[in-house]
A = this chain, B = another copy of it.
Amino acid sequence: MDRITRLKIVNGVSGIKSANLIGTRAGDQTTNLAVFNSVVHIGSNPPLLGFIARPQTKEVGHTLQNIKETGEYTINHIHPEFTKQAHYTSAKFERNTSEFERCGLTEEYLGECKAPFVKESRLKMAMRFMEAIPIELNGTTLVIGEIVNLILPDGAMADGDLDLEKVNGVGISGLNSYYELKKIAYYPYAEVTEVPEF
């Protein structure tokens, strides 16, 4: 199998991936925005989210570099009406180009967070950097942060879970394909004594 086909298949087989934009600010104040499909829940108490940062090079890695410099970042959900803008933040722009401006998304500042939020996003979080754990196997990094502020739209919860159909969430397969979400089932917390007969 050639390198590109292998890369595309392996990027898809984990299943659907979350679709988020991570906003940061460099020490020199330039803002940065990048699409990430690897944001993952680490724990609820304290409220921790992680994401996988690729091996750092001169061209790639402004997000992690900024997070380490400033200690803060934002995570912003992507919605169907701006998947195209979000996708093109993945181009390797120079560090002094702001993806907000180049890709047609709007900076927003909320609370005490100095990192930029995405105004177009309806579900977003201010994050405090906690730890960068190196993954020696391939030079990537698991970046973990704590949620310090959460902006949720009205009516976002259903059955006690965040309803990703109602808030118009999207998912990503591989690196290039975007999906809408349609809720099909809800099941309660699975107690051993309440498991149905199958």
Contact = CB atoms under 8 A, between A and B. Distances in A.
Interface residues of A, number: 100
How many copies the complex holds: the figure is: 2
A103 B44 contact: no
**Secondary structure type dominating chain A contacts:** mixed
A161 B171 CA distance: 13
Contacts of A188: 176
Nearest to A174: B161
Interface in A103-145: 103-104, 123, 125, 130-131, 133, 135-138, 140, 142, 144
A49 B14 contact: yes
> Residue among A14, A171, A182 with the most chain B CB within 10 A?
A14
A143 to B, nearest CB: 12
Contacts of A15: 18-20, 39, 77, 164, 169, 171
B88 A190 contact: yes
A69 interface: no
Given A6-B45, A43-B140, A179 B162 contact: no
Interface in A4-22: 4-20
A89 to B, nearest CB: 8
Nearest to A39: B14
Interface of A: 3-20, 37-50, 52, 75, 77, 80, 83-85, 87-93, 102-104, 123, 125, 130-131, 133, 135-138, 140, 142, 144, 147, 150, 152, 157-165, 169-171, 173-192, 194-196, 198
B6 A47 contact: yes
A11 B191 CA distance: 19
A130 B159 CA distance: 38
A19 to B, nearest CB: 6
A88 to B, nearest CB: 5
A17 B171 CA distance: 8
A41 B10 contact: yes
